[in-house]
Amino acid sequence: MTPDSFNFLAGLVKARSGIVLTADKGYMLETRLGALLRRENIPGLDALAMRLRGPMAHALAAEVVEALTTNESSFFRDGRPFEHLRKLLPRLAAARPPGQAIRIWSAACSSGQEAYSVAMVAVELATQLGGRRVDILGTDISREMLDRAQDGVFTQFEVQRGLPVTMLVKHFRQEGTRWRIAPELRAMVRWQGFNLLDDARALGRFDIVFCRNVLIYFDAPTKSRVLAALAGRVATDGVVYLGGAETVLGLTDRLTPAAGERGVYEPARATARAG
């Protein structure tokens, strides 16, 4: 692949998704785009770049971006945010008017483990939540991941990562070598295509936002922009959870670290209602 083709492809991916491909990622383009090239009968990455420069390349460009997303996820990933959630949910439920659902957004939800982990916590806290509904929205740029999330069927390997056996037995049904999430948990989550670079206001406001392990792929200006948008979507007494390698420091003053917690951020008071 020529440097010109690499720069073109990297520019396209960044513009469409925020994902930064540094110059050492040439091999990654080769491996991740191989299947797409074969399927579309495109002889190589230079030819792909040429095709994408032409008209009517929108769908192909979306497929290129999708192939370059990293979709690694697991149930109860990193543990601690979910322990924090167990304490936070009853407090938020008590603070909301009767009948008002708690809204939780799993932004960049990948194959759905994060959103379903949240649903399991909510179901287990049902008594403490006084029967209050918990509505979860899972969004991702990847159509393929959203389809998988919506199916709610996971491999033995996937359920062995982070999911306690008691929860597996309680909330999943075995189908051969796979495990299907219980219908009542599935019904708590709605799935929607959403690009974090787009205007999130149409999604409404959330009590809690999970946006974990996606900002790491963005550059600082994109992180700042996305974090400011998330701050504008979360309730003044709600929180945003970020991944263990992610922070708001130096990126936005609209979210501040929650005292004594890691990966938990609260809207800064003066700005929480803006945006």
Interface ranges with ligand SAM (CB under 6 A)? 17-19, 69-73, 77, 108-110, 114, 140-142, 145, 195-197, 212-214, 217, 243
Q: CB-wise, 77 or 103, nearer to ligand SAM?
A: 77
Closest approach, Cβ 247 to ligand SAM, in A, equals: 15
Q: CB-wise, 18 or 267, nearer to ligand SAM?
A: 18
Q: CB-wise, 6 or 82, nearer to ligand SAM?
A: 82
Strand pairing partners for 192?
Answer: 139
Closest approach, Cβ 259 to ligand SAM, in A, equals: 23
Closest approach, Cβ 207 to ligand SAM, in A, equals: 18
Name which of 220, 232, 219, 231 is nearest 266 in CA terms: 231
Structure token digits, residue 17: 């998704």
Sheet (strand 134-140) strand order: 189-193, 134-140, 102-107, 206-211, 234-242, 264-267, 255-257
Helix (H) or strand (E) holding 211: strand 206-211
Closest approach, Cβ 229 to ligand SAM, in A, equals: 11
CA 134, 137, 142: angle at the middle one, nearest 5? 155
Closest approach, Cβ 100 to ligand SAM, in A, equals: 26
Q: CB-wise, 90 or 162, nearer to ligand SAM?
A: 162
Closest approach, Cβ 34 to ligand SAM, in A, equals: 19
Q: CB-wise, 226 or 235, nearer to ligand SAM?
A: 226
Q: How far apart are CA 73 and CA 155, in angstroms?
A: 13
Strands 264-267 and 134-140: unpaired
Closest approach, Cβ 106 to ligand SAM, in A, equals: 7
Q: CB-wise, 88 or 229, nearer to ligand SAM?
A: 229
- Buried b vs exposed e over 133-153: b needs ≥16 C-beta within 10 Å? ebebbbbbbbeebbebbeebb
Q: CB-wise, 93 or 208, nearer to ligand SAM?
A: 208
Task: Give yes or no for a contact between 146 and 140, defined as CB atoms under 8 angstroms apart.
Answer: yes
Structure token digits, residue 23: 């110059």
